Every structure is written in structure tokens, then in C-alpha cells.
Amino acid sequence: MRELPLQVPGEPPLAGTLTLPDSSAPVPAVLLASGSGPIDRDSNHRRARFDVSRQLAHALAAAGLASLRYDKRGVGETPGDWRAAGFTDNVEDLGRALDALAARPEVDADRVLLAGHSEGALLAAAVAGQAGGRRGAPVAGVVLLAMSATPGEELLRWQARRIAPTLPAPVRGLLRLLRTDLEARVAANHERIKATTTDVARIGGARLNARWHREFLAHDPRTDLARLTVPVLALTGDKDLQVPADDLAVLAATVPGPVETRRVPDLTHTLRRQERAPSMRHYREELRRLVDPELLDTVVAWCRSVTGVPASS
């Protein structure tokens, strides 16, 4: 395996890592898209090391596939302000990265896949759904990890309902004391955000990426899913607190192309298994472990199958 620095041209230029297998070029490749917020090329936040993209890149390389992962705007070595970037900016950035990856001499441009986790899955679906209309590299298939098929505003309210019972007892007690309903508070913040017009706004005393939130609240991923004619693999854990696992059925019914869905037992949004009841309080412990090996094996085997990489490679 070799890893090379790669800069995606445009404004801003995106700093990334091209991971190549020990195979004769050109090889199939996978473009990796990370989750929301200030996440670097490895899917890491300064307070939470998800490490999804790095581990997936290395697993793909061991199986004969190249990959590209990159720092989002204003993170790592990519310039800019992540709070000023909208959801549509992130879609555009992934499209630029797709073209840069397909242009590499080490890569077979006709066998490039997209793989995304959480927001990255939404971005991957958006770019792949545009493939017929955008002038750029084609997409041979899409991997959607913890992909929502619920409109953004509805999803965030669902998250509030799902997360509220898992909060620590003192926090739940304080909410009851203050007669605060978490979902109602989230909905009220949505109205404040929708009333903003700037990229960044102060909501509840915190500086918020307001444009991203406005665009995300209005985004319906089913529109992009309905445009996917390439093969799709979608996996969501049945203990995911941030994406409804039931959305897999919506996804399967919406995608017109060949689609395979898997609801993974005990898997959380961190892409690790959790035997206890799901709670965001467990994230820190989960992130000390590697991404679920069976999930990595499933994704890698599917990517090899779709791109025609022989088992002997």
C-alpha cells in the first residue's frame, strides 16, 4: 500500500490522501465522504475520532482498490471556514474530488465508486444522482453507510425524540424541572435558523453553521435516491440514534437501480457494535475500538464485486 498527498483543484483546494494498492495500475477506486461538521480526511473530529475513512481506505487497498479521502473546508490542511460552508458546497466539493480521482493515471476512470458515512452518504447520493446531468466523471456504484431517507428537518426532530430518553438522569431531571421538551426546543431553534440569512449565525448563544442548517433542513434525500441507477449498497445499524434503520426500506423502495440493504444488529452510528442499550454516552467507549470488521468486509467485498476485482488480487 502507498499513500500520496493529493490536492483537489478549485476554491478552496481540498487537501487529501490518495491510497493505492500494491497492484498494477490502473485500478478501481473509491471516493470516501465523511460525516457532518469539522471532520478531516480520516473522519476524525478533534473531540471524536471516528476514523471511518482511514480504516476503510486501508481495507480497500489490501483488497486491490485505490481510494481518495480529503479534509473538508476549514479542517486539517484545507483552507476556509467550515461554519461558512453550506450543504450544497459540500456536494460541489465531493463532485470536484470525484473528477480529480478519476483523472489520476493510477485509477480506472470507468470503475470509480462513491462511499459515504452519515452526511457523507447524503453527499454521495447527491453526486451520484447528478451523474447523468453533470459534466464530469461517471460513478460505477454507491455505498451508503448510515444513510437517511428522511427530510432533514424531520430527521433532526426524530433524533431529538430518540436521544432524549438516553440522556443522563441529571440532564433529564433538569429538562423536567425546566418543563423543557427537547423536540419542541429543537423545532423552535429550526424556526430561528430558517429566519437567518447569513452563512454563520448565533443561535442560543453559540455560533452555528446557519447556511448548512438551512439547506439541510430543506433537503429531501429521496429526490437523489430516486435518480440512482447504478448499484447501491446501504447499511445502517439497528442501534443508530441519528438515522432511522427503518429508512432502509424507504431507500430500497425509492432507488430505481439495483440496491442491496443490510440492517446490522447492534451497530450504532459510530459503525461499532454495542451490546448495551444505544446511547450517545457510549460513543467515547465505542470509538476506542476499530470500525466493525464485518462491516468493512461487507463493503470491501461489494466494491470488489461491482468493479470486477478478482478474488486472487
Phi-psi region of 205 (alpha: psi -120 to 50; beta: other; left: phi over 0): left
CATH label of the domain that carries residue 99: 3.40.50.1820
**pLDDT at 165 exceeding the cut of 80:** no
What band does 131 get if pLDDT is binned at 50, 70 and 90? Answer: low
Which of 165, 194, 213 is the last residue before a domain boundary?
A: 213
User: Same domain, yes or no, for 247 and 146?
Assistant: yes
Stretch 95-123: mean pLDDT: 97
Stretch 119-136: mean pLDDT: 82
Q: Can you give the pLDDT at residue 253? A: 98
Which of 164, 191, 213 is the last residue before a domain boundary?
A: 213
Q: Can you give the pLDDT at residue 204? A: 78
Instruction: Give CA–CA dist 276/203, Å, rounded.
Output: 34
pTM of the model: 0.94
Residue type, 237: G
What does the mean pLDDT of the chain come to? Answer: 92
**pLDDT at 50 exceeding the cut of 90:** yes
Contact 120, 227 (CB under 8 A): no
Instruction: Give CA–CA dist 233/227, Å, rounded.
Output: 15
User: Same domain, yes or no, for 130 and 225?
Assistant: yes
3-state secondary structure of 208: strand
Higher-confidence residue: 140 or 172?
140
Q: Can you give the pLDDT at residue 175? A: 46
User: Same domain, yes or no, for 120 and 163?
Assistant: no
Residue 52 domain boundaries: 2-151+221-307
Contacting residues for 300 by C-beta, under 8 A, at least 6 apart: 59, 60, 62, 63, 65
Give the chain's domain count.
2
User: Same domain, yes or no, for 136 and 232?
Assistant: yes
Q: Write the DSSP assignment of 3-38 as a string of letters.
A: EEEEEE-SSSPEEEEEEE-SSPSSEEEEEEE--SSS
User: Same domain, yes or no, for 192 and 229?
Assistant: no
Stretch 108-122: mean pLDDT: 97
Stretch 280-294: mean pLDDT: 95
User: Same domain, yes or no, for 63 and 179?
Assistant: no
User: Same domain, yes or no, for 174 and 141?
Assistant: no
Residue 230 C-alpha from the chain's centroid? 18
pLDDT digits (tens, 9 = 90+) for 174-229: 545 445 566 778 888 899 999 999 999 998 788 999 999 999 999 999 999 999 99
C-alpha cell at 114: 462513491
Instruction: Return phi, psi of residue 232, to 5°.
Output: -130, 135
User: Same domain, yes or no, for 31 and 140?
Assistant: yes
Stretch 34-62: mean pLDDT: 96
What band does 27 get if pLDDT is binned at 50, 70 and 90? Answer: very high
Q: Can you give the pLDDT at residue 137? A: 74
Evaluate whether residue 313 is within a structural domain: no
Evaluate whether residue 312 is within a structural domain: no
User: Same domain, yes or no, for 16 and 79?
Assistant: yes
Burial class (CB in 10 A: 0-12, 13-18, 19+), 91: buried
Which of 213, 236, 260 is the last residue before a domain boundary?
A: 213
Spatial CA neighbour of 250 closest among 266, 264, 236, 239: 236
Q: Lowest-confidence range among 19-28, 82-91, 156-165?
A: 156-165
Q: Can you give the pLDDT at residue 189? A: 86
What band does 135 get if pLDDT is binned at 50, 70 and 90? Answer: low
Q: Can you give the pLDDT at residue 13? A: 98
User: Same domain, yes or no, for 29 and 105?
Assistant: yes
Contact 88, 117 (CB under 8 A): no
User: Same domain, yes or no, for 192 and 271?
Assistant: no
Stretch 224-252: mean pLDDT: 97
How big is the CA angle at 256 (ends 70 and 121), to the nearest 5 degrees?
A: 20
